[in-house]
Amino acid sequence: MDDTCLCGKKRLSLNSTNWSRHVISCKKKKICFGNSSIKSFFKVPVACTRSTSSNETKYDVEMNKFEKPDNPNTTIANSVEMNEFEKPDNPNTTIENSRENSDKPADLAFDFINSFDPKYLLNSNLTPEDKIAIINKGAFQPEKNELSEGNYPQEHGHRFKTEYYYRILPSGERIKREWLTFNLRNNRMYCLYCLFFGKNKQYAWTIEGFHAWQRLYDIGIHEKTAAHINASIIVKMKIHCLPVLPQIYECKRLQIAENREIVNSLIEVTLFLGQHSLPFRGHREGWDEKNKGNFKDLTVLLSKFSPALAVYISKLQTKGKSEVNFLSWRRQNQLISSIAKCIKTSINSEIKTSKYFSISIDTTFDSSRREQLAFIIRYVSFEEPSPLIKERLLSLKESPQAKGSQLFSLFQDICLENNLKWKTMLVGQSYDGANNMRGQYQGLQSFIKEVNPAAMYTWCYAHRLNLIVVQVTSSSPDSVNLFGNIEELYNFISSSKKRVAYYENMQKEKHPTVRVKRLKRVNTTRWMSYSMALQTVLSTFDVIIDTLENIKITELSDFKVCSKANGLIDFLLTERFVVTAVCYNKIKNMRSDNVFTKLYDEAVDFVSKSEFEFTPLPIKRSRRKKIMSDEINPDHVITDPKFEYKVNTYFSTVDAAIIAIKERFHSTGQHLLRDISLFSTSRLRQTKKDNSSLPKDAFDTFCEIYCNFINSSDLKREYIQYSNSFFEFEESVGFHKINIHEEKYESENSEDNEDEDNSGEEEGETIVGNKQYLQNVGTLLHLFQVCHKSGLKNVFPCLYDALHIASTLPVSSTTPERTFSKLKIIKNRLRTTISQERLEDLMLISCESDININNEHVIKYFSEFSTVLKKYLILTLER
């Protein structure tokens, strides 16, 4: 006979009679033998579904709250009504056996036991309704006789006691602890309320589980803590408010939808102002002010057509700070930053798709005398069906130091900020001729090439051409006098409004059918400034002389003004000026021996048609020079003024132009350009006719530089094969063709395209026609487009990458110059205190206005600035 009863009592010193009486009368023993195990009430396959389309969990299991039965002889298990659970045929079947016998173990993810498993509940994305439903079903509180071992687990000689399911009040009343739940997996207790709604959760009651059975009084301590009381209050409030929650959520959803509609309108206002480089704020922005700034005024204008916006503005005016303000200066900055972030994300996405990219960098001083660095990135975009080359402003940073090493550090920071793989995917770089940029040892390009030798440097060809123009215009005394006096003429007339008005009125009087022009500056960074300034003087020559004569008469008292006017008139009314002006106006046609004669005849014709009297070319007197004893032939003295001008001015100008072109356009990259020149339709046609016409060293330099991407032998083979089928693919793809050699657009015939409101250095750009609907079939990009649209990437992979890299290489760094034109508009004299972050964001919006903006993404970025914005713009369910 055992010395221990099923109830846990030991025999010790009891005699056999008393011990047998105890065993016969033991109530707990009768309950154990008379009741079935709780495991027998579990259905073998437990039905469970879990939604995959949302975060909500759907339950098929009905879990009824455990209640203590009135009849003590009736087991708790028999008193539980379980719709989904049925008693199996074998009463000895355990939970583990039923789990092993299940055909689909994965379907047991949410069974009767797991519903109270904290690890499962913590990992489940339950809604408040789900949590309250579990709490309403009741905590899992089994009796010890319902467990597999017939008692609670023992640790260190102690075990849990059933009476701790209840709390004894001082009055003797017993209150059930509805929050206390038992987990059969690890045989530990948990607090269900703190697990779901506790803020300062105790690790022992929510994560690890309580199992210090020797300190069961800690249960009473826990339920008196502030964290548990707060969680219990939340539970009770949610239970009573649960029927109202759907209505609350619906109202919240409608309010958020209305707020998003308002912010959508504000995004459109921000885009309009940013893309047009307009200021946002006014001097005074109160609602009582007549002029509240462009942002608020446009918002008020839109409110006339948007009821939601009109109601919101009226609330702001009446409630003031108690209403969340989407129109404040801080919200304006956040909207601008959100749009700029959306633009940057779009650009970075295109760069990631393109893989290869090149950069152009330039610096300038803004209106506050701070040096700004424009970071331009060039890549091939595949967003359209046909690849397009794009140059985008990616960043605008202040550069207080201009040394090559410091610019390199700033370059690295920008690449890191935008996740650019410049060490492997940067294939080209283009800057101007400054030493800190193009220096061979301490320039920015040298630091980059030390890390990435494939990043070929290109000295901007536009800057080179401008240097050639400057060098040619300073090649002779006559050219220096010509352009120096044109600049002096501009300063002299433009310095007085009265003189400018008279100059314009005389144009209207003498040339009523011609658009009014203004004098142009010469010393600007515009590439066409010399040509435009000279053309303006020649086309309005008579008006200029009349204006200077009028200045002499009307401003006779000012001897300085009269002296300057006389000097300019004397210079302009000379044949030397006319001949020099005509020569430089037609300098691109100086290619034959009889050109000078034609130009000189044109100058003579100009003089004869003019109503003014011109000073002829001076005849130089020949000086007699003493002939030394060893000299045989005397010095030849040029006495003909025409021939003297031809030798000293005309020939020197042509020689200077030839020498400057050779010096400026001769570089170490000529071999690379020679290889790239093979990517043209003419060379493909020639190679198709005769494959041997391809040079033996073709693409050697190109493949040597980009050896990580291109194989030389494969490229030559694919090039020959591509030339044999290119023209067939070109016809099948179809392009609008234009022959650039058949159409000539002369700048002097495009006077109607000039803007009469422009003046000074803002002028100088001539529109030669709209040809956006046409495609030049002779460009490198055209070959790449045909290859891409024909799906030849997998057929000619090496040629495809070569065309891709060659299209990405920069030719000039003029895009930063255009960026600085925007900078001058945005950061004008009235906005010198603008912050660097706001300036960069506004520059991105203004320069990259063609990028489509997704307002939903902007609202998402906008809501991340504060929890208040997230509350008013993002619909989230409370957990």
Residue 502 has pLDDT above 80, yes or no: yes
- CA–CA separation, 608 vs 614, rounded Å? 9
- The two three-digit tokens of residue 104, written as one number: 């689909």
Mean pLDDT of the chain: 78
Q: What are residue 56's phi and psi, to 5 degrees? A: -85, 140
- CA–CA separation, 183 vs 603, rounded Å? 107
DSSP for 707-732?
Answer: TTT--HHHHHHHHHHHHHHHHHHHHH
Alpha-carbon torsion (561, 567, 568, 573), positive or negative: positive
Q: pLDDT tens for residues 138-180?
A: 888 888 777 777 788 887 788 888 888 888 888 888 888 888 8
| Beta carbons of 389 and 788 less than 8 angstroms apart | no
- CA–CA separation, 526 vs 587, rounded Å? 18
The DSSP bridge partners found for residue 159 are 154
CA atoms in the 13 A half-sphere facing the CB of 793: 7
- CA–CA separation, 45 vs 111, rounded Å? 10
| Beta carbons of 472 and 544 less than 8 angstroms apart | no
- CA–CA separation, 16 vs 678, rounded Å? 113
- The two three-digit tokens of residue 340, written as one number: 């700029």
| Beta carbons of 145 and 78 less than 8 angstroms apart | no
For 560, residues 6+ apart whose C-beta sits below 8 A from its C-beta are: none
C-alpha 458: how far from its chain's center?
A: 26
DSSP for 545-570?
Answer: HHHHHHHHHHTTT-HHHHHHHHHHHH
The CB density around residue 43, as the number of other CB atoms within 10 Å, is 17
334-460+812-848: in CATH 3.30.420: yes
Q: Which residue has the higher pLDDT, 367 or 777?
A: 367
Q: Which residue has the higher pLDDT, 567 or 579?
A: 567
Q: Which long-range contacts (CB under 8 A, 24 or more apart) does 310-314 make?
A: 312/258, 312/262
- The two three-digit tokens of residue 56, written as one number: 């909500």
The DSSP bridge partners found for residue 361 are 375
- CA–CA separation, 86 vs 40, rounded Å? 8
- The two three-digit tokens of residue 329, written as one number: 């200066």
Q: pLDDT tens for residues 594-614?
A: 677 777 777 777 777 777 777
- CA–CA separation, 824 vs 828, rounded Å? 6
Lowest model confidence (mean pLDDT) among 193-207, 636-650, 676-690, 704-718: 636-650
Q: Which of 709, 723, 643 has the alpha carbon at shortest distance from 679?
A: 723
- Report helix, strand or coil for 258: helix
The one-letter amino acid code at 878 reads E
pLDDT band at 663 (very low <50, low <70, confident <90, very high): low
Q: pLDDT tens for residues 77-106?
A: 333 333 333 334 443 433 334 333 433 333
Domain ranges of the chain: 1-34, 35-224, 334-460+812-848, 466-623+645-661, 670-808
Q: Which residue has the higher pLDDT, 31 or 261?
A: 261
Helix, strand, coil share (%) of the chain residues, nearest 5? 55, 10, 40
Tell me what pLDDT residue 436 has: 85
pLDDT band at 756 (very low <50, low <70, confident <90, very high): very low
The one-letter amino acid code at 481 reads N
Give Rg (Cα) of the chain.
44
Residue 113 has pLDDT above 50, yes or no: no
Residue with token string 């009109």:
310
The DSSP bridge partners found for residue 191 are 180
- CA–CA separation, 240 vs 237, rounded Å? 5
261 by Cβ neighbours in 10 Å (0-12 / 13-18 / 19+) ranks as middle
Tell me what pLDDT residue 736 has: 52
- CA–CA separation, 407 vs 438, rounded Å? 12
Residue with token string 């006098």:
481
Q: Which of 315, 532, 463 has the alpha carbon at shortest distance from 810?
A: 463
The one-letter amino acid code at 433 reads G
Lowest model confidence (mean pLDDT) among 231-245, 406-420, 613-627: 613-627
Tell me what pLDDT residue 521 has: 86
CA atoms in the 13 A half-sphere facing the CB of 690: 5
DSSP for 201-213?
Answer: --HIIIII-B--G
Residue 357 has pLDDT above 90, yes or no: yes
The CA–CA distances, whole Å, from 257 to 270, 301, 319, 321, 718 equal 20, 21, 21, 22, 57
Tell me what pLDDT residue 524 has: 64
- Report helix, strand or coil for 152: coil
Residue 116 has pLDDT above 50, yes or no: yes
pLDDT band at 737 (very low <50, low <70, confident <90, very high): low
C-alpha 696: how far from its chain's center?
A: 44
Q: Which of 765, 748, 750, 772 has the alpha carbon at shortest distance from 821?
A: 765
- Report helix, strand or coil for 427: strand
The DSSP bridge partners found for residue 391 are 378
Tell me what pLDDT residue 692 has: 86
C-alpha 400: how far from its chain's center?
A: 24
pLDDT band at 27 (very low <50, low <70, confident <90, very high): low
For 712, residues 6+ apart whose C-beta sits below 8 A from its C-beta are: 699, 700, 703
- CA–CA separation, 618 vs 99, rounded Å? 116
- The two three-digit tokens of residue 635, written as one number: 């010095």
- CA–CA separation, 285 vs 289, rounded Å? 6
| Beta carbons of 404 and 439 less than 8 angstroms apart | yes
- Report helix, strand or coil for 657: helix
- CA–CA separation, 164 vs 216, rounded Å? 8
pLDDT band at 76 (very low <50, low <70, confident <90, very high): very low
The 3-class secondary structure across 791-828, one letter per residue, is CCCCCCHHHHHHHHHHHHCCCCCHHHHHHHHHHHHHCC
- CA–CA separation, 447 vs 436, rounded Å? 11
- CA–CA separation, 775 vs 781, rounded Å? 10
Tell me what pLDDT residue 118 has: 67
C-alpha 135: how far from its chain's center?
A: 48
% of the chain with per-residue pLDDT over 70: 76
Nearest 10 degrees: CA dihedral of 47, 49, 50, 52?
150
Q: Which of 611, 655, 625, 353 has the alpha carbon at shortest distance from 479?
A: 655
- CA–CA separation, 99 vs 109, rounded Å? 11
Residue with token string 């800690």:
218
Lowest model confidence (mean pLDDT) among 417-421, 459-463, 787-791: 459-463
- CA–CA separation, 32 vs 150, rounded Å? 8
Tell me what pLDDT residue 665 has: 64
Tell me what pLDDT residue 609 has: 76
59 by Cβ neighbours in 10 Å (0-12 / 13-18 / 19+) ranks as middle
* Mean pLDDT across 717-736: 84
The DSSP bridge partners found for residue 362 are 374
Residue 271 has pLDDT above 60, yes or no: yes
Residue 479 has pLDDT above 90, yes or no: no
